[in-house]
Amino acid sequence: MKSIVRRDTGESYMAYLKRLAEAEGIEAQDAAALLRMDRKRKKKTSNEDWPSPSDQEAEITKLKDGRTALACKAENAVDMETGAIVAVTTHGGAAADTATIQETVIEAAIAAAGLIAEPTPEGEYSVHPDGVQEVVADKGYHSNEAVLGLEQLEVRTYIAEPARGPRNWLGKAAEKAAVYGNRRRIQGQRGKSLQRQRGERIERNFAPQFDTGGLDRLYVRGKQNVHKKLLIQAAACNLALLMRARFGSGKPRAAHDQVVDTILTILAVMKAVADIYTASPRIPSRDLPVSPRSDRRH
C-alpha cells in the first residue's frame, strides 16, 4: 500500500498525508502525529483516487483479517458432482461477488457447451445437452440483481439468502419473483442437500489452489498474467482429481509413496512367513523308538 499514488497529483500516500497535516497545522515531520491523524480520517483510500503505479488493474481491497492490500479476485465455477473446476474468472480485488457471479456462470456455460458432444471412455455423454442448469452459491452472492440476472439466463438458482428483514418490493415485481423463487428452492429438500454439498465439493478446491498451492500471494502484474497462473493451478487441480479417480492418488509423490508402501508390505509379509517357518518345531534326526510286536498267529 505504500506504493499507491494519487491519480490527480501523482504524490505518494505519505506525501499526501503531510500536505493534509500542514493544512491542519500539524507537524508534518512527526510520523506518530501523521498516523494518529490518518486513523481518524474516514474513507482514506478509494480506487477512483489511488491506483498502483506498477499495476493499474490491481484494486485496493480489504482482506478478511482486516488488512488493506492491492489485490485481484479469483472466482471458480465447480461441478457439484465431480468437484472439477469448470471455469476460472479474474476480477479486480474490490469487485463484489454479486457483480461477478453472472460472468462466471457464463464462462462455465461456455466450457460445458464445448463438452456436450465429448463422450467418456465408456462411450457415454455425461454433460447435460442443455449445459448449465443450476447454480449453487453462498449468501455472499445473493442480491436482487444477481438472482434476476441468473433467472434471465434460464438458470435455476440455489443461493443462500441472508437475513435482511422486511423488504420493500415497490416497483420491483421481477426482482421479487426471482428472489421468492430462489427462496422456495433453497428451503426444499433438494436445496438443503445442495447447500450441504457446497461446502464439501466447492470449497475443497481452495486449499490446493491458495493455501498449499501458494496463490494467496502473487508476484505478477496485470489481470491477464494473474488469470494465467490461476488457469494453470486449476488445471493441476483437475489433473489431480483425475489421477485420484484412476490411480487412487492425486500427486506423483503420493503415488510413489504408495508403491514404496506396497513393496514394504510385501517384504514384511515375506519376513513374517520366514519367521513362522523358522520358529516351527523340527523332527529330530535320530532313530525313532520302535514298539515291539508279536508275529505269532493264532
**Gyration radius of the chain's alpha carbons:** 33
In a domain, 68, yes or no: no
pLDDT in the model for residue 297: 46
Inter-CA distances, 175 with 100, 125, 142, Å: 18, 36, 12
Of 76-85, 115-124, 226-235, the poorest mean pLDDT is in 115-124
* Residue 9: domain span: 1-53
219 and 165 co-located in one domain = yes
Per-residue pLDDT band at 290 (split at 50, 70, 90): very low
Based on the fold, state whether residues 90 and 206 are members of the same structural domain.
Answer: yes
How many structural domains comprise the chain? Answer: 2
Residues 30 and 112 in one domain: no
Is 62 within the bounds of a domain?
no
Helix, strand, coil percent content, the chain, rounded in steps of 5:
45, 10, 40
DSSP per residue over 219-248, as a string? ---SHHHHHHHHHHHHHHHHHHHHHHHHHS
128 and 239 assigned to the same domain: yes
Q: How confident is the model at residue 296 (pLDDT cuts 50, 70, 90)?
A: very low
Question: Measuring CA to CA, which residue among 37, 50, 42, 41 is closest to residue 8?
Answer: 50
Q: Is residue 63 part of a domain?
A: no
* Residue 93 and residue 236 in one domain: yes
Q: Is residue 16 part of a domain?
A: yes
pLDDT at 281: 58
In the sheet that holds 85-92, the strands lie side by side as 59-62, 68-78, 85-92
CA dihedral 275, 276, 278, 282 (to 10 degrees): 170
Q: Which of 214, 230, 247 is the last residue of a domain?
A: 247
pLDDT digits (tens, 9 = 90+) for 177-197: 999 999 999 999 999 999 988
- Asked whether residue 169 falls in the same domain as residue 241, the answer is yes
- pTM > 0.85: no
Partners of 58 in the beta sheet?
Answer: none
Q: pLDDT tens across 265-285, in order?
A: 777 777 777 777 776 555 554
Helices and strands in the chain, H and E counts: 9, 5
Question: Same domain, yes or no, for 25 and 118?
Answer: no
Mean per-residue pLDDT, 158-184: 93
164 located within any domain:
yes
Whether 108 and 169 map to the same domain: the answer is yes
Verify that 39 and 92 share a domain, yes or no.
no
Domain check: are 41 and 77 in the same one?
no
For 201, other C-beta atoms within 10 Å of its C-beta total 18
**Is 161 found in the same domain as 17?**
no
Q: What does the mean pLDDT of the chain come to?
A: 82
Strand partners, 228: none
217 within some domain: yes
Hey, which residues does 75 pair with through a beta bridge? 89
H/E element holding 71? strand 68-78
Interval 162-191 mean pLDDT: 93
- pLDDT tens digit string along 93-140? 888 999 999 999 999 999 988 888 887 777 777 788 888 899 999 999
Q: Is 94 helix (H, G, I), strand (E, B) or coil?
A: coil
Q: Establish if 180 belongs to a structural domain.
A: yes
Alpha carbon 61 to chain centroid, angstroms: 19
How many residues are there in the chain? Answer: 298
Domain identity same for 105 and 175: yes
